[in-house]
Structure formats: C-alpha cells, structure tokens
Structure 1
Amino acid sequence: MVILAFFWLALLLRSRPAGRVTRLLAFGLCAIVFSWSMDFMDEFIRMPSTLIWHNWLESMPIPIALILLSIGIYHWHQEEIAISAQMVKRERYFREHRLFDKLMPVGGGAYLKKQLKLSLAESKKNQQPLALIAIDLDDFNVINRLYGIKEGDHILQLVCQLLLLNLRDKDLICRLAGDRFVILLHDTDEAEAKQLSQDLQHAVASFAYRTQESQQRVYLTATTAITMAKRDDSDSLIKRLNQLLSQRKQTAAPVI
C-alpha cells in the first residue's frame, strides 16, 4: 500500500502542472503515505501501549488526507469542466473555420448555407423578414488580367473590408465565389434592403485603388440584387438570388 501510494504521488507530480490543486492532492497523498508507513513500521517495531501519540500519528493523517484529497479532487473536477468547455469551443471554431474563405476572414459558400438554414428557421419562428443581397464586382476578370491575380486578391480583401464597414453589426457577409459576395440581413424588410444595397454600390463606386507595382488608379463598380426569403430552403434562395443577379448584370449598361 505504501508503494502504491508513492506510485500515485509520482504520477501526480509528473502529470500535473504546479498549482493549488496539485499541492492539495500531493499533501493528501503524503499524509496517506505517512500513515501507512507508520502502520507498516508497527510490523517490525513494538511500541509501548502507553505511547498515545504513536496511535495519533498513525490514525490522524488519514482523515486529514481524505479532506485534502476531497478538496483537491473537487477543484480538479472544476478544472476539467472548464477545460472541456474550452475544448468544445475550440473544436467548434476549427470545424467552422474550415468553412471560412481562404483569402479573407469571412465565411464561404458552405458557411453561408449553414447560417442561412439557421436564419430561415429563426425568421419563421419569430415572424421576422429575412433579406439577402448579392453584390458582384463588374468586369473583375479584367483587373486580374491586367494587374495579376495577386493584385486582384489584394483588391478583393480591401473591398471585403469596405463592405464590412458599411454593414450593421447583425448583418452577415460571406464570399460566395470569386468576386461575388452575399449579405444576410436579419429582421430587414425589402425597403431597408434596397437602401443598404444602394449604399454598398456607392461605397464600391467611391473606392479608388492604386496598384502596388505600377501605381495606377483602379476604379470599381458593382451590381447588386435583392431577394426576400419566402417559403424557400437555403439552396433555392441562393439559386434565385444568383439568377436575379445574372439578370441585373445582363441588363446593366456596360462600364466604360
């Protein structure tokens, strides 16, 4: 029993960091080791029965050890609960992080569909309107061709930051594909969505970028489309939004 108690103590000190919990558990195990060692020594050393303190040294450390171990195990339990909660958050973050766009810190198409499903259920439950805005940069392939993919990616990152600055805290923006963004608007009617769509168009049109290598000015325009969630699922809603955006781009006047 003494050897086992020493073994537990060694494992504890090797596996846990220093701290209050480790000290409580270690002191408790040390008290058990001391008490069991005294009991073991009785097998070889006969003490006079008049020595009351000897019996106290043998028996008293056990309740003290149990109290220390109980307190230590309780706090260890609280530690494990906190660590488990952090691990769940971290696991959820990494799981969702894979759904984020590789170029900029916004969700991608898969993340948009996931959040859209949740938003559709929430808007239906609370009887609140739900709107979507698609915004597509006009002729962005020309910029990639003239200035290169690296320059084009940098422009997309800046445009994404520009759009974020013009959105409300409750709005969610995702990069659907290429130079196309979709914005999810909670509790927003069609009039509010149209106004926000115009604001985003004006923000993009006011954005003037100077290329890093040739220092040439690049001006952008964007086409937007709006749709309201009705009795749709996420796939049909995104499909309708893309169709509306394609129609708007076909009917829009060419940019000179």
Structure 2
Amino acid sequence: MNLSFLKFHRHLFLILLLVITSIVAITTHLGTLKEASELDWFDAVGEAGITLVTLVWIFFILISRPSGKVTNLLFVGLTLTHVSMLLDFIDEFYFYTSDSAWLGTIESLPAPVGMIIMSVALYWWHQEQMSINAQLRNTERYYRDHSLTDFVTGLYSAKYMKNQLQREIINAGIHQQSFVMMLIDIRKFDSFNRKYGDQQGDTLLRETAQLILMNLRDEDLACRYASDRFIILMPNTSVQTAQTVATHIEQAIANLAFKIGNSAAAQYQHVTSCVMECNGEDEYLNVLDKLNDRMLATKHDINNQASPNQLIHSKDVA
C-alpha cells in the first residue's frame, strides 16, 4: 500500500480527529447512558459498521489523492456523512434530556449536505480523470509514433513508410486509383559527411527534413528512406502536382545557407528528385525498386546533361 500522499494531508487528519473527539465529548457530556436492557444491539452493530466504513473511505481517499480542491471536497463530504453516522451510532447508547434534544434532531442533517458536496466533488473528479486520460492518450500516441520515427530527422522511419506504402497499394487496387511517390536525394552527401563529420551531416539532414515538411501538403507523408534519401507518399495526387511540389522543395533546399560551426561561410546544398505514379498493381518491394531505378536514371541524366551546380528536376513519369 502506497502511503506517500499521507504527508500532504496531516492537517485533514487533525481536523477529522478534532471533529470526532468533539462529537464524542459533547454527546457523552450532555447525554445519559442507557441501561443494557434498553440497547438494540442489532442496530448498534449495523450503525457501527456504517460509521467505520465512512472512516475507511476517508482514509483511502487521502492515501490515493494529492492535495487539492477535489480531495478537500471529498474529505468534507465524507466527514459530514461520518458525523451523521457517528451521532446515530452514539444515539444507540445515550438518550438526551429535553435541553439536549437538539443533538438527536441534527444527527440526520450533516449526511445530505455531505452527499451534495461529494456529488460536486465526484463531478470535478470525473472532469479531472477525463483530462488525465486525454493526456495519457496523447502521451501514448507520442511514444507509439516516436518508435516509428527517425531519430535524426524526426520524420517517419523507413519501416513506417513501408507499412503505409503497402496500405496505399491495397487502396489503389481496391478503388482503382493511383498515387504518387517522390524520392529526394541529397547530392554529394557522402563527401559532405567525410569533410565535416557526422554531427554536421545530421544537422544538414534535420534542416533538409524541415524544408521538405514546409513544402508538403497536409495529406502528404514524408519519411527518411535511407541515409540521405527521403520518400514522400502523395495520395490522390497527379504527377504534375507532385513535380511542382518537388520543384518547390529543390528550390527551398538550394537556397538554404547552411553554416558549419562558427563559420560565417555558407554551404549551399542541392538535391535530386524524381516522381513516380503507382496504380496498385505491384508489390511494395517492386515499387521501391522502380523508384530507386528512376532516381539512378535521373542522376545519370543530370551527370550527362548538366553541370553539378545547375538545379534540374526530373521530368520522367511512370
């Protein structure tokens, strides 16, 4: 049993002890003890049980909750209910003169007031739990998604991309619709990594990933495929639209003034991109092979037809 919350409720236990002591002192002082023959032991045992149970409820509330409004309301409501039960229990052993008859009159008053207060407390407790549950769902979603994201870039991982690609292929086959895949490759990334180190390489990957995300639509899914390659799944998209998005991404990255450490000199990077339409007829591994072949062909065309510093976009369409 975890009793760590008890240290926050010492004042409440003190209040409870003071209330019980005061009631017992007042009733025993003003009342007259009944003869044994006048006692109804069956009622006494039943009322003693109820009185004890309310104390147990108070105890478990205080060891289960931190201090705060809800805890205080629950404590007040249960304490008032306990007062009624305690007065009713003591009434089995004492009778009061006409001057003290008010004790018997008020014994049933604290309980309904306490129940009203507890009802309010339970409402706020419900609201509290709804908020906690929402936070737990968000936390669980974060960790579930985090396990499927790439540590360096924050994009979805290749594993997650492959799962989503399989779903897109199935949906395309069922609904007779195509989707588009885009592959982006950072040019000469290996040389950059060797020259400036892995830490700068990771920073470049992160900034490149952010620029990719900034140029995508809400329905697009960006993933880090491998090393310096990124794949974007684009459902319900035409090849022309995907090429336009790819051009925007290329231009954004080409204008990124990447600075190494404390150096004021900017390093400008370029990427190669290609797009491919998929209709759901191939397995996902075949789709990835075709996409990689498309990238190799695009790079070959760039090497043969343009200088390395010229920004060129693949016009190939599957």
Matched, 1:6 2:55: yes
Please give the root-mean-square deviation of Cα atoms over the aligned residues, in Å. 3.0
Partner of 1:191: 240
Partner of 1:162: 211
Amino acid across the alignment from 2:77:
G
TM-score by length of 2: 0.69
Contact 1:123–1:187 (CA under 8 A) maintained in structure 2: no
Which of 174, 181, 202 lines up with 2:223 in the alignment?
Answer: 174
Contact 2:187–2:269 (CA under 8 A) maintained in structure 1: yes
SS at match of 2:183: strand
Partner of 1:246: 296
Matched, 1:223 2:223: no
Which of 109, 131, 139 lines up with 2:188 in the alignment?
Answer: 139
Contact 2:150–2:157 (CA under 8 A) maintained in structure 1: yes
Distance 1:118 1:81, change over 3 A: farther
How far did 1:50 drift? 8.3
Amino acid across the alignment from 2:70:
V
Contact 1:131–1:229 (CA under 8 A) maintained in structure 2: yes
How far did 1:179 drift? 0.5
Matched, 1:61 2:97: no
Distance 1:197 1:48, change over 3 A: same
Contact 1:96–1:111 (CA under 8 A) maintained in structure 2: no
Contact 2:76–2:117 (CA under 8 A) maintained in structure 1: yes
Residues 45-69 of structure 1: CA deviation (Å, up to 9, x unaligned): 2223786533332222223333333
SS at match of 1:168: coil
SS at match of 1:59: coil
Partner of 2:8: none
1:124-135 correspondence to structure 2 within 5 Å: 129-135=178-184
Partner of 2:91: 42
Amino acid across the alignment from 1:183:
I
Distance 1:54 1:9 in 2: 24
Partner of 2:9: none
Contact 1:166–1:200 (CA under 8 A) maintained in structure 2: yes
Amino acid across the alignment from 2:258:
Y
Distance 1:20 1:213, change over 3 A: closer
Distance 1:238 1:134, change over 3 A: same
Task: Give the % identical residues.
Answer: 34
Distance 1:131 1:74, change over 3 A: same
Amino acid across the alignment from 1:105:
G
How far did 1:24 drift? 2.7
Higher mean alpha-carbon deviation, 29-38 vs 209-218, is at 209-218
SS at match of 2:78: helix
1:18-29 correspondence to structure 2 within 5 Å: 18-29=67-78
How far did 1:194 drift? 1.6
Larger radius of gyration between Structure 1 and Structure 2: 2
Distance 1:233 1:164, change over 3 A: same
Residues 62-83 of structure 1: CA deviation (Å, up to 9, x unaligned): 2333333333223323332332
Distance 1:138 1:3, change over 3 A: same
Distance 1:186 1:20, change over 3 A: same
Of structures 1 and 2, the one scoring higher in RCO (CA 8 A, sep 6+) is 1
Which of 63, 83, 105 lines up with 2:154 in the alignment?
Answer: 105
SS at match of 2:151: coil
